[in-house]
Structure 1
Amino acid sequence: MSDRNPGTATDSRSGGEDGRRILRRDPNPHLFRPVRFRSVEARNRIMLSPMCQYSATDGVANDWHRVHLGARAIGGAGWVFTEAVHTEPRGRITPFCLGLWNDEQRDALAPIAAFIRAQGAVPGIQLGHAGRKASVGRPWEGSRPLTPAEGGWDDQVAASALPYASGWPTPRAMTVDDIQASLQALKSAVRRAREAGFQALELHGAHGYLIHQFLSPLSNQRDDAYGGSFDHRVRYLLESIAVTREEWPDELPLFVRLSCTDWVDGGWTDDDTVRLAERLKAEGQVDLLDCSSGGNDPRQQIPIHPGYQIPLSQRVRSETGLATGAVGLIHSPDLAESVLANGQADLVILGRALLADPAWPLRAAATLKARNMAWPPQYERSNIF
């Protein structure tokens, strides 16, 4: 469990002169107070957001991934998560995305997880499936759908036979057998993630990818047990969580990234998210909801500004008691600290800030006057910081 009251230390009690128990507050800013989920404790509440690097070959990690993730661990992040790692070849966003459907891919990720852990960070992995948003080019090549002749593939699957946008291929609606096969592929990937040494796992249920496609009525027009009502639309996510827990040890934390709203009329809403979070909290398998938004429909109208998604995290946390992570244009140490100090989230999940500066946590610790963070000795002795 996380520290549900970030303003109070959980391990600093001692006896007073009159025998009373005295609560000593952690002198460090909230951002740099340790946090525990199940058996895993992180040194702070900063999480590297899963961000695709589009740099793998046949789903296998390489030097780019080692350096990219390792640098953020050296830089002081508490939780270092991989990008989305896909459970089957056709589930990749691009031909250059990571996968975990074979042992070669597992073995390439294992030393990365070990290095992250050796630097004092928690190695985390995100697993996902792109569904109808699979087989596209890399962002710097246009992010457009690719044909097989261009290195893509033509077997996109989804909750329903609905294209993501005009000009995109129409996916094949998954049969129940397809759904069960995808769950078994997820289960196998979870096993490999455990074998590779990761200590935290996140299911990608956001940004218009396969789980999100089942959740949202904009992309799910099924009339069977996986579509229609709210309970039917959340079934694929709940079954994904169940098969994950069959392979993911009970002592290790499980997160879920969710688009808390589609930002489109008639789509998934923050009310739906609260309803789902209440169920996740009651069932006790998920430890944190990573509160993102959008990505499922190009008609979305997102009011983007620094911290624009923080209210989503705050609402889930306050109304359900489920731990949350806040993400979305959180750039400054002061903003990150205020999110935690005001009880709006349990973790602050950084993307662009950590891309721009791998040492952001160490610089933030100096700004906020944290006492429990230090530069690696290889850097500190240079006296340049």
Structure 2
Amino acid sequence: MTATTSVDALYRSESRRVLATLIRLLGDFDLAEEALHDAFFVAVQRWPLDGVPANPRAWLVSTGRFKAIDRLRRQARFTPLLQEQADTLEAADWSDQDVEDDRLRLIFTCCHPALAADAQAALTLREICDLTTEEIARAFLATPATIAQRIVRAKGKIREAKIPYQVPSREALPERLDAVLRVIYLVFNEGYSASIGADLTREELTREAIRLGRLLMELLPEPEVMGLLALMLLHESRCPARTSAEGELVLLAEQDRSLWDASLIAEGCALVERALGTRRFGPYCLQAAIAAVHAEAARADETDWPQIVGLYDVLLRAVPSPVIELNRAVALAMRDGPLAGLQQVEGILARGELLDYHWVHSARGEFCRQLGRVEEARAAYAKALSLTQQGPERRFLEQRLQNL
């Protein structure tokens, strides 16, 4: 592997860790981001000549720190207070051997209750997972400009309110947990079903979300943490079967279940049992239980659809949501037939909900197709196609239209 290739690989695997540590050391998001890019720029120049250092992450953190101090000193000619900030940073204790993994610290900062909920998620996806504003906008069904404003406001709030860059005390953790779980799940979802691009999945995001889930599990083994980790593991277990050798989307009912990862299924199901056994479970545990029912069926036609519908009923009472209602409609169609599912989907659309969500139109198209209502199916699939920019999903919908 060449030095240049090493830099590229390290940026993909380590840049968010380096950024998290730089934020801790520098105390400023924007300064840390500039320092991160400066450090990798220097690495591109020097590593081909000097070789890759023994501890690349420590080298990048150290280089970024010094570049930030230099940047502050240059700017101090116009803003004298920056000289004092640079002197303070230079005097702070720092060792190249003292490189912590600060990402859990960063996620709790990004999810601080002083920030608006939508800003928490946007900031975490941007800073921890390196999603672009366009990718985050797709996940939130918002415009890139709106997302950019949320991120800027969130950084400003952290700076002005002097929000501490730390993992909360154990006493304060439960009240902070919901936002953190929601953000981790958003990260996983973006990786499991990428909102845009040529590939269905982004493995680096699902791995990162699962890693964060495991870290959180070590820190706070609460039932909902177990539930979220189980849910992610059970979904991840299907990844080898979700696309064909050509990269095309394969629906759950058509997947080769022998390709599912048995070790992830076993781990996920054990976590579900442990969480449900506490009788203090919530929405993530219920979703994980649904995923476990799917995982326990050796063949698609052995799926216990009545149990899944029952679990969705409980989930809907706990968390009323049109997306959950859509998922229940699909399960209902498997139990009671496509007309039952279609009626539920049309009820969602009649309320004006999920109008820009391509999966609701895809589900309507599928139900209409099964009922022989070809023109309605064609219109629904065409609407779904107009709402997605994801390559395999587009090809799947185009194939459905062609078959009609």
If the TM-score is normalised by the length of the shorter chain, which range does it land in?
A: under 0.3
Considering Cα pairs closer than 8 Å and 6+ residues apart, tell me whether 1 or 2 has the greater RCO.
1
Q: Choose between structure 1 and 2: higher strand proportion.
A: 1
Q: Which has the larger radius of gyration?
A: 2
TM-score (norm 1): 0.27
TM-score (norm 2): 0.26
Q: Choose between structure 1 and 2: higher helix proportion.
A: 2
